[in-house]
């Protein structure tokens, strides 16, 4: 799949430390799953990766050889700030990134906001399986096939129109810089602001305002890697900020450093 590093802090260093790949799921899963992502590492010293999270739920199967047998986790949208993961020795992760809005059909009894900011055993939500069946194959296509085998029986029997609506709205926020105000997004969708907020709580896990700000910070992080050529005042205006200072403040509070300190590519 095409390389996309949006949200990864200092991707060049990460991709030097680990093998990171993305693969498509089986066709029936593609409306629900954005991609499978695989990471393998063999490190002489501990390493901490940092991600500015997307509004997505992730299912992961993990194996750190020094820490015991393989296991699985479900991670809700990580709204508090940076998601940091420390790794070392030898290990691997096989992850499933659900499309924003499309996890709820797999766990319809609770709003997606119930999982926001939480990491829990995957079997609290999904049927138990043997994580080793996903993690032990050497070839990526075999790992992807194992994930397909696990998830295909769980595909919802019928589409959920509300999930589709939420997915479309988040996709629009991501793609269109002109989407800046929640009231305008609600009006374009023919709903009230409160109805839009309820939809996002139920199906996305975070507010529409959070999504707008987060995707704009993703763009700012990409720009910071090439900051010598960036007109920050123009970028701030293009992203809907009142001025450059507001963008820098949001960048710093989210990423943990100002754009001037961000590693360049």
Q: What is the pLDDT along the chain (265 residues), one digit of tens a residue?
A: 556 778 888 888 888 899 999 999 999 999 999 999 999 999 999 999 989 999 999 999 999 988 899 999 999 999 877 899 899 999 999 999 999 999 999 999 999 999 999 999 999 999 999 999 999 999 999 999 999 999 999 999 999 999 999 999 999 999 988 888 899 999 988 999 999 999 999 999 999 999 999 999 998 888 887 777 788 888 898 888 888 999 999 989 888 888 888 877 6
Query: Which domains can be identified in the chain, with CATH numbers?
Result: 11-154 (2.60.40), 161-261 (1.10.10.60)
- Report pLDDT for 2: 55
In Å, how far from its chain's centre is CA 235? 23
Q: Tell me the pTM.
A: 0.93
- Report pLDDT for 242: 86
Distance between CA 87 and CA 183 in Å, rounded?
A: 42
- Report pLDDT for 239: 87
Distance between CA 179 and CA 177 in Å, rounded?
A: 5
- Report pLDDT for 265: 61
Report the 10 Å Cβ neighbour count for 65: 12
Instruction: Cite the beta strand spans of the chain per DSSP E.
Output: 19-23, 33-51, 58-64, 71-75, 83-98, 119-121
Polymer length in residues for the chain: 265
């Amino acid at each position: 799949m095409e390389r996309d590093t949006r949200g990864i802090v200092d991707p060049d260093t990460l991709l030097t430390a680990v093998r990171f790949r993305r693969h498509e799921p089986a066709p029936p899963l593609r409306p629900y799953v954005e991609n499978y992502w695989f990471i393998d590492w063999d490190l002489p010293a501990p390493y901490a990766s940092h991600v500015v999270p997307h509004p997505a739920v992730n299912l992961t199967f993990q194996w750190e050889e020094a820490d015991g047998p393989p296991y699985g986790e479900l991670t809700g949208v990580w709204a508090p700030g940076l998601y940091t993961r420390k790794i070392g020795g030898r290990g691997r992760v096989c992850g499933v990134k659900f499309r924003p809005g499309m996890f709820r059909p797999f766990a319809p009894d609770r709003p997606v906001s119930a999982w926001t900011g939480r990491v829990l055993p995957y079997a609290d939500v999904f049927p138990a399986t043997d994580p080793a069946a996903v993690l032990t194959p050497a070839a990526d296509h075999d790992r992807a096939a194992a994930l397909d085998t696990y998830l295909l029986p769980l595909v919802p029997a019928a589409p959920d129109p509300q999930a589709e609506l939420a997915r479309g709205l988040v996709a629009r926020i991501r793609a269109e810089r002109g989407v800046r105000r929640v009231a305008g997004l609600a009006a374009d969708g023919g709903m009230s602001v409160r109805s839009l907020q309820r939809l996002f709580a139920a199906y996305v896990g975070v507010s529409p305002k959070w999504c707008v700000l987060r995707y704009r910070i993703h763009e700012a992080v990409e720009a910071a890697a090439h900051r010598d050529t960036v007109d920050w005042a123009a970028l701030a205006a293009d992203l809907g900020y009142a001025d450059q200072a507001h963008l820098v403040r949001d960048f710093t509070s989210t990423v943990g450093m100002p754009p001037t300190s961000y590693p360049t590519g």
